[in-house]
Structure 1
């Protein structure tokens, strides 16, 4: 009887040990998650507000100091009516008014590419990098389609940095001036953005 109790005690100890390792493995695997909910206020996020920004985008492709430079094209770009396949890198000034001499509020930095074979339609991937006022050092990111000959083009805001963290909204672009000879353009932008 004593030997049977000793065997049962050993078996019981083994079962407890196995159960402990199995349970601790379950607990450990449950505590290492890929994601977790966070408190917005603990990360400095206040109540969301809507802002309207208004400025002019100067796309200068000609002259001695262009701000938009073609960096790539397809073999068939020169025979395309829409310039399909052209890729342009930009560092365009953003100003308060349409005159290039007016106050600089930022730069549009990124690329646009001719992405349509049937009309002049650009894929726009750019950041508005602000250098003035309370938004100095903050950016807005835009990714969208720009049908150049439409009176007003709407493109989405897909994010931002600084005061525009978690930004979302849209921009409306309308051509203010276009020089057919040089290819230079001044585009009016109205930006509507939710941010914290």
Structure 2
């Protein structure tokens, strides 16, 4: 999952600036920031890897403790290739961004994933400024 806030191809845009404390290590992200995303999901970590879908939704800087940068994430994983193309998974939950692995619940889906349950394990692969590359391992019961 390529979540880029910088450059001409930004996929994550701050739509509301929070007024709380800065998040740990950040120069411009604050408690209360709301970011809308339309991130590319690829098979591998390179932007040139085969595209599998999109992660569309938002996240909110939800912790007021600067040493505990935590987000509330609400996103749809939209599959754009393969036999599940056009299907989506709804994911929402707490993302403690400094944890090596975070678990977010799958709370539903559409298409081939109608009434799905499961979870997503999220790992940070690379984090530079506000640009983040995440690895998502998705486990679904449909």
Q: Same fold (TM over 0.5)?
A: yes
Alignment of 1:142-181 (within 5 A): 142-180=91-129
Post-superposition shift, 1:81? 2.5
TM-score (ref. length: structure 2):
0.92
Aligned partners of 2:10 and 2:126: how far apart in 1? Answer: 17
Equivalent residue in structure 1 for 2:22, among 61, 81, 90: 81
Match of 2:138 in 1: 191
Aligned partners of 2:140 and 2:57: how far apart in 1? Answer: 19
Match of 2:26 in 1: none
1:69 aligns with 2:13: yes
Q: CA RMSD in A?
A: 0.8
Aligned partners of 2:116 and 2:57: how far apart in 1? Answer: 18
Alignment of 1:126-141 (within 5 A): 126-141=75-90
Alignment of 1:25-44 (within 5 A): none
Q: Radius of gyration: which is bigger?
A: 1
- Structure with the larger helix share: 1
> How big is each residue's C-alpha offset from its partner over 1:131-182, in whole Å with a ceiling of 9 and x where there is no partner?
01011000000010000010000000000000000100000000011113xx
> How big is each residue's C-alpha offset from its partner over 1:104-150, in whole Å with a ceiling of 9 and x where there is no partner?
00000000000001111000000000001011000000010000010
Structure 2: segments with no counterpart, 5+ residues: 24-29
TM-score (ref. length: structure 1):
0.67
Aligned partners of 2:47 and 2:98: how far apart in 1? Answer: 22
Runs ≥4 residues deviating over 3 A: none
Aligned partners of 1:186 and 1:81: how far apart in 2? Answer: 21
Equivalent pairs, count: 134
Aligned partners of 1:134 and 1:72: how far apart in 2? Answer: 37
Equivalent residue in structure 1 for 2:56, among 100, 106, 109: 109
Aligned partners of 1:162 and 1:193: how far apart in 2? Answer: 13
Q: Secondary structure at the match of 1:163?
A: helix
